Amino acid sequence: MLIRTRTLRLIAAGVAIAVAALGGATASTALPLHTGVSASRFLTMLNGLTPSNSTHAGYARNLFHLWTDADHDKCSTRAEVLIAESKTTTTRTVTCKVLTGRWYSPYDSKWVTLAKSLDIDHVVALKEAWRSGAYNWSYSRREAYANDLGYGPSLIAVTATSNRAKSDKDPGVWMNVPASYKCTYAASWVGIKWRWRLSVDTKEKAALKRVLMGCGSVSVPLPTRAY
């Protein structure tokens, strides 16, 4: 299961890594091929999301349990993402704390070698998930969402600076990623919301639709339902 998950996760960096590779990165940075998924598939999913402009109070980060070790291999969800996305073999402690590797942060087109410089971003942030449906979930479902290794785009390694600039903003407010990554970002967002049956607000939907209508195919896997 994790082998397949790690293969899928490498897709998450999308078009931006391919562009970086053309700029001089070695062949080892190339993504597994996963192209030809029509952006129209994600537009269809977007149109099927429940519309809601409601906000829900009561969010607290501790309502989502981070980071678990689902397969009991001593590597937490954070470590699993770092190991999967590193373009070189990582160095780790005996307790599977990842120390070094080589990562590409697609939000700001930066290469990073120190794991401590990276955050693991919930592409659809925990607070955004809360206000678009997770407020009504059980604790176990929120834990599953917070540690979703079953769909590669859900969790990605990015620089701490870029992650904090994004914070819990949805695409109606923030989509400040490189132009080469916007199709990947929009499709990933829609795929995650569809997977977890989360709602979408008017401004968010309009922003996603504008981007996806300008995309041909995207290097994002189609999601399956989480429940």
Residue found by looking up tokens 């922003």 in the block? 207
Which domain does 75 fall in, by range? 2-218
Q: Considering the domain boundaries, does residue 146 fall inside one?
A: yes
Q: Considering the domain boundaries, does residue 180 fall inside one?
A: yes
Residues across the chain: 227
Mean pLDDT for 165-193 is 97
Q: Considering the domain boundaries, does residue 90 fall inside one?
A: yes
CA dist., res. 16 & res. 195, Å (int): 23
pTM above threshold 0.95: no
Q: Considering the domain boundaries, does residue 44 fall inside one?
A: yes
Tens-digit pLDDT profile for residues 29-88: 333 334 579 999 999 999 999 999 998 999 999 999 999 999 999 999 999 999 999 999
Q: Considering the domain boundaries, does residue 224 fall inside one?
A: no
- Residue 124 CB partners (closer than 8 Å, separation 6+): 132, 154, 170, 189, 192, 193, 196, 198
- Residue 87 CB partners (closer than 8 Å, separation 6+): 25, 28, 29, 101, 102, 103, 104
- Which pLDDT score, from 0 to 100, does residue 30 have? 31
Tens-digit pLDDT profile for residues 88-105: 999 999 999 999 999 999
Burial of residue 104 (number of CB atoms within 10 Å: 0-12, 13-18, 19+)? buried
- Number of independent structural domains in the chain: 1
